[in-house]
């Protein structure tokens, strides 16, 4: 087992994939805490479906996937978060509509226009990630890493503002904080994280990567800062275990990581119960 | 010019007026107490002052010398999710955010302000506790400390003493008085007539139309004050 591992880890592309994967998990967990606390979990889910639809379009037109998914998802994020804060429109219905709409359109496009001989294989790969992070090209990996670093920097620089608009948007707005600006920053960063995370775990499992570490940390930790740090550590740890298991046993990367996240959630729930 | 001035102001929701014909002005250093029965529109007025869309007609003019970033605010009700993980210190510090501008982190002096404010309100020993596990009165004090941290020129309080014990209430009144004497303008909604009359410099009494606006001394002489007090102003 150790030998298989060290054999694979000898390849530079595996090392790069590991680094990119861990950075992506870190981003997803940082943002996940805010999304869960703002009650935006479903928006994350809808955005991942939008990203899937955009990916289908990119595949059909043979564009670079990221060049299409990133802008489309960013726009969808700003629209969705805007709709949600406008109480006049039924937020959850709009979200569900966009979510399934994008999924259906994406699948239809891939089915009708795809030139590939293995359509269901392609769809499955996009939805569940399979081993895609290990098959990314070097330039993709570099792009992922760069975006992940930018997301982490944005998060650190705006940490206090993100806390304020997450905890009590009304107060923050009343005392002169530009809540709309920071909500849009959160929206854009969310979109970027979702597109990144799709490379790691596939479109359908993105929300798991975002939500589970946050919920797991919230079982045990009680301040915002400790929840953030806890979620980051849990997420990176689970992804590392998941990636290594996937490499050794050849299991699909995305679902292996998510199952590890679920296991961590179960463990922390029990610890939380015992601690009271 | 007055810090805040409104003339013939009507407030309400979705086009339906709640208060009409409101006129008052607040000068720098004033301590204005707003009184009136439940549902008379006091909280609505506070929201309008903070820029929510409650104004139907008329206008609230702020002097150029005051910026939204210099206002501290304690809402009557704060809807915070039950399971939000946040420590008392994190919440109080977030009041300092409007003094940060584009700086990403809190300065040492802001952290000191937060610590001192917590001391003054007797919650320094709760600093690392989780907000959602505190009692109602303790939570109120935390939000009050946050409001005080956000204040540089104007402090707006909507029933700050609701749910506080008598000792903390007295401390709070003297703290607000002290803040006011340091040159910060205070606008407070209160049902505590005695305290309002004891501490405030001006009184605004609203019903569906404003019933009284003026200096405290004049209010004490007015009929409306007598009626309101006789009818159980103490209990209000
Ligand atoms: N968001 C809202 N939408 C519609 N009507 C509202 C809204 N908020 C308050 N009202 C109505 O406006 C009126 C005034 O409410 P407001 O909260 O300003 O009263 P108040 O003077 O602060 O009362 P209290 O002493 O109970 O705090 C009430 O009749 C209330 O029903
Ligand atoms: Mg009120």
The string of DSSP letters for A7-40 reads HHHTSHHHHHHHHHHHHHHHHHHHHHHHHHHTT-
| Cβ neighbours for A136, distance < 8 A, ≥ 6 positions apart | A17, A20, A144, A199
Nearest residue (CA) to ligand 1, atom 4: B13
* Mean pLDDT value of segment A171-182: 88
Chain A: give the shortest CA distance to residue B80, in Å: 7
| pLDDT at position B167 | 86
| pLDDT at position B120 | 86
Residue A222 touches partner B, C-beta closer than 8 Å: yes
Least confident of A37-46, A90-99, B61-70: A90-99
| pLDDT at position B106 | 92
- CATH no., domain A2-275: 1.10.3470.10
Q: What is the mean pLDDT of chain A?
A: 85
CB-neighbour burial class of residue A229 (10 A; exposed 0-12, middle 13-18, buried 19+): middle
Ligand 2 centroid from CA A173, angstroms: 19
| pLDDT at position A221 | 92
Residue A218 touches partner B, C-beta closer than 8 Å: yes
Which residue is it, tokens 């530079």? Answer: A12
* Ranges of each domain in chain A: 2-275
CA distances from B14 to A80, A84, A90 (A): 25, 20, 18
At B152, list the tokens: 């540089």
| pLDDT at position A92 | 73
Q: How far is Cα A50 from Cα A64, in angstroms, rounded to an integer?
A: 16
Contacts 24+ apart (CB under 8 A), B23-26: B23/B210, B23/B213, B24/B202, B24/B204, B24/B210, B24/B213, B26/B2, B26/B185, B26/B187, B26/B202
Which residue is it, tokens 């290990």? Answer: A134
Q: What is the mean pLDDT of chain B?
A: 85
- Tens of pLDDT, residue by residue over A10-53, are 888 788 888 888 999 999 999 999 999 988 888 888 898 998 88
Does B158 reside within a domain?
Answer: no
pLDDT at B91 over 90: yes
Q: What is the CA radius of gyration of chain B?
A: 18
At B79, list the tokens: 């809807």
Q: How confident is the model at residue A87 (pLDDT cuts 50, 70, 90)?
A: low
Q: B139 near B93, Cβ under 8 Å?
A: no
pLDDT at A230 over 70: yes
Q: How confident is the model at residue A231 (pLDDT cuts 50, 70, 90)?
A: very high
Residue A13 touches partner B, C-beta closer than 8 Å: no
CB-closest option in B71, B87, B91 to A175: B71
| pLDDT at position A103 | 87
Q: How far is Cα B25 from Cα B141, in angstroms, rounded to an integer?
A: 29
Q: What is the interface size between A and B, counted as CB pairs within 8 Å?
A: 84
Measured over the CA atoms of residue B82, residue B83, residue B89 and residue B95, the dihedral's sign is negative
User: What CATH code is carried by the domain that includes residue B198?
Assistant: 3.40.50.300
Q: How confident is the model at residue A85 (pLDDT cuts 50, 70, 90)?
A: low
Higher pLDDT, A56 or A120: A56
- Tens of pLDDT, residue by residue over A209-227, are 999 999 999 999 999 999 9
Asked if A160 and B104 come within 8 Å (Cβ–Cβ), the reply is: yes
pLDDT at A177 over 80: yes
Residues of A whose CB is below 8 A from B71: 174-176
Chain A: give the shortest CA distance to residue B87, in Å: 5
| pLDDT at position B220 | 78
Does B151 reside within a domain?
Answer: no
Percent of chain B whose pLDDT exceeds 90 = 26
Does B162 reside within a domain?
Answer: no
Does B200 reside within a domain?
Answer: yes
| pLDDT at position B234 | 44
| pLDDT at position A115 | 66
| pLDDT at position A189 | 92
- Tens of pLDDT, residue by residue over B139-193, are 888 998 999 999 888 999 998 888 888 888 888 888 889 889 988 999 999 888 8
Higher pLDDT, A48 or A8: A48
Ligand approaching nearest to the C-alpha of B158? 2
Does B61 reside within a domain?
Answer: yes
Does B138 reside within a domain?
Answer: no
pLDDT at A121 over 80: no
Task: Please state, as a whole number, how many other Cβ atoms lie within 10 Å of the Cβ of residue B33.
Answer: 25
Does B83 reside within a domain?
Answer: no
Does B82 reside within a domain?
Answer: no
Least confident of A101-110, A116-125, A137-146: A116-125
Percent of chain A whose pLDDT exceeds 90 = 36
| pLDDT at position B233 | 44
Overall domain count for chain B: 1
Q: How far is Cα A24 from Cα A18, in angstroms, rounded to an integer?
A: 10
Q: Which of A33, A160, A174 to mutate to test the interface with B (most CBs of B within 10 A)?
A: A174
* Mean pLDDT value of segment A87-108: 79
CB-closest option in B68, B80, B98 to A167: B80
| pLDDT at position B182 | 87
Per-residue HEC secondary structure of B169-188 comes to HHHHHHHHHHHHHCCCEEEE
Domain housing B60: 1-71+187-236
Asked if A160 and B97 come within 8 Å (Cβ–Cβ), the reply is: yes
| pLDDT at position B210 | 64
Least confident of A171-175, A221-225, B225-229: B225-229
């Amino acid at each position: 087992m150790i030998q298989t591992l060290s054999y694979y880890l000898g390849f530079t592309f595996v090392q790069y994939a590991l680094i990119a994967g861990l950075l992506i998990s870190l981003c997803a967990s940082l943002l996940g805490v805010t999304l869960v606390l703002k009650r935006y979990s479903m928006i994350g889910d809808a955005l991942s479906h939008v990203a899937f639809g955009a990916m289908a379009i990119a595949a059909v037109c043979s564009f670079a996937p990221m060049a299409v998914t990133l802008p489309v998802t960013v726009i969808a994020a700003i629209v969705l978060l805007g709709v949600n804060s406008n109480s006049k429109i039924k937020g959850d219905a709009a979200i569900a509509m966009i979510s399934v709409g994008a999924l259906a359109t994406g699948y239809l496009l891939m089915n009708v226009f795809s030139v590939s001989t293995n359509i269901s294989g392609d769809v499955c790969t996009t939805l569940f990630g399979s081993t895609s992070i290990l098959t990314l090209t070097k330039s993709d990996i570099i792009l992922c890493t760069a975006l992940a670093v930018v997301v982490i920097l944005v998060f650190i620089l705006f940490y206090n503002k993100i806390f304020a608009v997450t905890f009590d948007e009304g107060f923050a707005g009343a005392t002169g904080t530009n809540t709309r600006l920071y909500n849009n920053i959160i929206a854009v960063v969310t979109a970027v994280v979702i597109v990144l995370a799709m490379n790691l775990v596939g479109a359908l499992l993105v929300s798991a990567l975002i939500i589970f570490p946050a919920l797991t940390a919230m079982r045990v930790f009680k301040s915002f800062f400790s929840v953030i740090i806890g979620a980051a550590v849990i997420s990176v740890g689970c992804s590392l275990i998941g990636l290594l298991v996937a490499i050794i046993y050849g299991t699909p990367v995305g679902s292996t990581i998510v199952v590890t996240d679920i296991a961590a959630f179960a463990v922390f729930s029990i610890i939380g119960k015992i601690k009271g | 010019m007055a810090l805040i001035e409104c003339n013939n102001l009507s407030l309400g929701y979705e086009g339906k007026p709640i208060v009409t014909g409101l006129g008052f002005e607040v000068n720098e250093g004033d301590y204005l107490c707003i009184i009136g029965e439940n549902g008379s529109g006091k909280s609505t007025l506070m929201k309008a002052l903070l820029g929510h869309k409650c104004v139907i007609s008329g206008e609230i003019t702020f002097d150029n010398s005051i910026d939204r970033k210099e206002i501290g605010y304690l809402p009557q009700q704060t809807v915070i999710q039950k399971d939000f993980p946040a420590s008392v210190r994190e919440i109080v510090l977030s009041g300092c955010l409007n003094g940060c501008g584009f700086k990403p982190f809190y300065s040492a002096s802001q952290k000191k302000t937060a610590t001192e404010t917590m001391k003054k309100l007797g919650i320094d020993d709760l600093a690392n506790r989780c907000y959602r596990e505190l009692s109602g009165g303790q939570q109120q004090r935390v939000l009050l400390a946050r409001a005080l941290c956000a204040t540089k020129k104007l402090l707006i309080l909507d029933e700050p003493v609701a749910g506080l014990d008598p000792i903390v209430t007295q401390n709070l009144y003297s703290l607000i008085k002290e803040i006011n004497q340091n040159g910060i303008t205070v606008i407070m909604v209160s049902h505590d007539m005695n305290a309002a009359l004891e501490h405030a410099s001006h009184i605004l009494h609203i019903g569906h139309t404003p019933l009284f606006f003026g200096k405290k001394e004049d209010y004490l002489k007015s009929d409306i004050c007598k009626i309101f007090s006789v009818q159980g102003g103490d209990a209000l």
